[in-house]
């Protein structure tokens, strides 16, 4: 398997993870978590979302969070935005990058944002000039790219058509999202090998959910196809409220542990990241899916039992 020497991880826990929590996460707590992730060396953080407070009440403090975080040179602080107004608010708050999202599935897009795919693309068309005038790059996310819980598999031609429209609008990156954890490695390879050559110069990103335990295998295949940018969520927090059965994103510290074990560099301090995950579990108040924060890294060593030590000494 061909692996890159380095990949970029985008942490989405403080947006994708926090947004569906039923109890409001205090602004100071959100800021603290972003600062912990910054200190761990995350190169990209999707900090928050500039959506209408009635749509996502958990994100009503987006501007305050952006104003309160401690920025580290070299880290890109992004925000998810739904439309032109959200883009303007995010730019005013000082984001480095805009993330957008629409579904490849008509039914999921209607459930998620109450718009058809065509209507969502029209909304995003208004975002492009705002971002261009501000000199802010935009990444277009395509949800349910690997399957929809209502419609099943999405025709590849439809994903291609949406990607083409986003590229025509001037978006610099495309993120394919396995929103429901329906993807498998063979499918990921087939889709990426079809799409990537058609859009030269575009940065591809993979956003995976670990609903069926397939996220890291899918990421490894995507890496072999040339993708070097991946979303993940600290401690595996998150899920899609409009996708039945969906659970959290791939866990950041588990993914980083896997990559480091394979000698793929991320620039992230795993110990600091695990500490952030453990703190997040305290904040949320329930066990979270992350495994490495429970088991420790693969190279952790333990004291040999005394009886075994005596036998070894006698050999």
Residues identified as active-site: 240
Overall size of the chain counted in residues: 315
Residue 184 CA: distances (Å) to CA of 141, 191, 214, 222, 251: 19, 11, 7, 11, 17
| Contact in structure between 108 and 152 (CB atoms under 8 Å) | no
- 243/240 Cα distance (integer angstroms): 5
| Contact in structure between 209 and 178 (CB atoms under 8 Å) | yes
- 193/92 Cα distance (integer angstroms): 38
Nearest alpha carbon to residue 278 among 292, 266, 267: 292
Token digits for 228? Answer: 């070097």
- 72/246 Cα distance (integer angstroms): 33
How many CB atoms are located within 10 Å of the residue 228 CB? Answer: 16
Nearest alpha carbon to residue 82 among 126, 23, 32: 126
| Contact in structure between 45 and 38 (CB atoms under 8 Å) | yes
Secondary element (H or E) of residue 176: strand 173-178
Residues whose CB falls within 8 Å of the CB of residue 96, separated by 6 or more in sequence, listed in order: 76, 77, 78, 136
Nearest alpha carbon to residue 61 among 21, 99, 25: 25
């Amino acid at each position: 398997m061909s692996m890159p020497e380095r990949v970029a991880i985008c942490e989405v826990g403080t947006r994708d993870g926090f947004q569906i929590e039923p109890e409001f996460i205090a602004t100071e707590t959100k800021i603290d978590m972003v600062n912990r992730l910054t200190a761990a060396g995350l190169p990209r953080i999707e900090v928050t979302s500039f959506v209408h407070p009635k749509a996502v009440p958990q994100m009503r403090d987006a501007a305050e969070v952006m104003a309160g975080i401690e920025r580290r040179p070299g880290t890109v602080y992004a925000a998810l935005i739904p439309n032109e107004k959200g883009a303007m608010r995010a730019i005013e708050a000082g984001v480095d990058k805009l993330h957008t999202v629409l579904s490849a599935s008509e039914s999921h897009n209607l459930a998620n944002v109450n718009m058809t795919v065509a209507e969502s693309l029209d909304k995003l068309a208004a975002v492009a000039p705002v971002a261009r005038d501000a000199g802010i790059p935009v990444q277009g996310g395509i949800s349910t790219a690997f399957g929809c819980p209502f419609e099943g598999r999405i025709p590849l031609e439809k994903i291609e058509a949406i990607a083409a429209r986003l590229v025509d609008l001037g978006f610099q990156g495309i993120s394919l999202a396995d929103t429901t954890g329906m993807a498998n490695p063979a499918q990921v390879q087939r889709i990426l090998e079809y799409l990537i050559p058609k859009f030269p110069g575009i940065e591809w990103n993979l956003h995976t959910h670990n609903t069926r335990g397939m996220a890291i295998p899918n990421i490894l295949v995507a890496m072999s196809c040339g993708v070097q940018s991946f979303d993940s969520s600290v401690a595996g927090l998150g899920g899609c409220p409009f996708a039945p059965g969906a659970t959290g994103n791939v866990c950041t510290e588990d993914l980083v542990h896997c990559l480091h074990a394979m000698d793929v560099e991320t620039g992230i301090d795993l110990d600091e990241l695990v500490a952030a995950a453990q703190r997040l579990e305290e904040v949320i108040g329930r066990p979270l899916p992350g495994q490495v924060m429970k088991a420790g890294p693969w190279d952790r060593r333990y004291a040999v039992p005394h009886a075994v030590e005596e036998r070894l000494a006698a050999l």
